[in-house]
Structure formats: C-alpha cells, structure tokens
C-alpha cells in the first residue's frame, strides 16, 4: 500500500467502484478538457503540488500541464497509468487495488510490461453516458492515493457532485 498514508484512510474497492459509477459525463468536448485541466492546475497551484496533468480522449492529448517541481518522470508515469485505464476501462488505482485484493500485484499477475503499464493511482477514466470510457484524466507527482484523490476532487467539482 502507500507508505505515507495510514491504511485505514485508504479508499476501499467498493468506494473506488462507486466513484466510477458516479463520475460520468453527459458529453466531453475539447472545451471540457480545457476546463477540467485548468481546474486541476488551479487545485495543484493552491496546494503547491509538483504535478503534471494530462487529459486524453480517443488517443489524442487534449490537455497537458507541468507545474513547478514536476519532472519528465511524471510524464512517463502519466503514460503508464493512462495505458492501464485504456486497457481495463477503470481507474489505475482501482486496477492495482483489485490485484492486491486477490493477494498478488499488478506487476506479478497482469503479464503486461511494467515499463509501459502502471496500476498506480492518478489516472481516472473519462466516461460518457451511453458511450462508455472515451479517455482519461491523469495526475502524477504525489503519492499515488493523493494523485487519485486530486483527480476525483476535480471531477466532483467539475460535474457538480
């Protein structure tokens, strides 16, 4: 689990699945990507979080920002976490959690190249009602549970939850 966060404060699989059921868009445009990405940048600036933010839709990068303190490694983590969302259709944190709940790890059991895929928190599916998962929103630079929570907080604000 995450060494910096007490295990009792980590979300459960049920809570993570509930987030995915709840955080669904009616539509998702280029303008929505810009507004959501800008909201994430605003949250990160308020917290002086050294993160990179990325939003993809249908294989196209619609938004990217690298805040002070972020590094090229954050972009590599974004790509690896995003690929997990694209492959599994679920949040990267939830995918990793599901493997751990089975008594194994994503790295040991997924049969996917860990240089290309990372089931660590921070990438969340962009789901459109009636269409399914069409993209992802990803944050990298904080402990994985905090990356995940920042994305969820921004989605809740954006969607008026």
What does the pLDDT look like over 93-105, one tens digit per residue? 999 999 999 999 9
Measured between alpha carbons, how far is 69 from 50 in angstroms, rounded to an integer?
A: 4
Q: Which H or E element spans position 14?
A: helix 13-22
d(CA 77, CA 117): 9
The average pLDDT across 4-29 equals: 87
Over the stretch 118-135, which tens digit does the pLDDT of each residue have?
999 999 999 999 999 999
pLDDT of 3 above 80: no
Token pair belonging to 87: 């492959």
Nearest CA-CA partner of 96 in 7, 27, 1, 19 = 1
pTM of the predicted protein model: 0.93
Contact predicate 36/154, CB 8 Å: yes
Distance CA 118, CA 99 (A): 12
H helix runs in 67-143, sequence order: 72-88, 92-101, 106-109
pLDDT at 148: 98
Find, among 33, 125, 138, 28, the residue nearest to 85 by Cα: 125
């Amino acid at each position: 689990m995450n060494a910096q966060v007490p295990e009792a404060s980590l979300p459960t699989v049920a809570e993570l699945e509930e987030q995915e059921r709840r955080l669904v868009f009616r539509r998702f445009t280029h303008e929505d990507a810009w507004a959501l990405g800008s909201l994430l940048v605003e949250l990160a600036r308020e917290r002086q979080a050294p993160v990179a933010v990325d939003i993809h839709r249908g294989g196209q990068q619609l938004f990217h920002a690298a805040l002070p303190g972020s590094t090229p490694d954050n972009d590599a983590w974004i790509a690896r976490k995003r690929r997990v969302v694209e492959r599994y259709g679920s949040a990267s944190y939830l995918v990793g959690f599901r493997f751990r709940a089975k008594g194994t790890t994503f790295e040991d059991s997924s049969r996917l190249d860990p240089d290309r895929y990372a089931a660590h928190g921070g990438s969340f599916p962009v789901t459109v009602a009636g269409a399914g998962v069409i993209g992802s929103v990803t944050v990298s630079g904080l402990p994985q549970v905090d990356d995940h929570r920042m994305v969820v907080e921004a989605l809740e604000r954006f969607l008026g939850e």
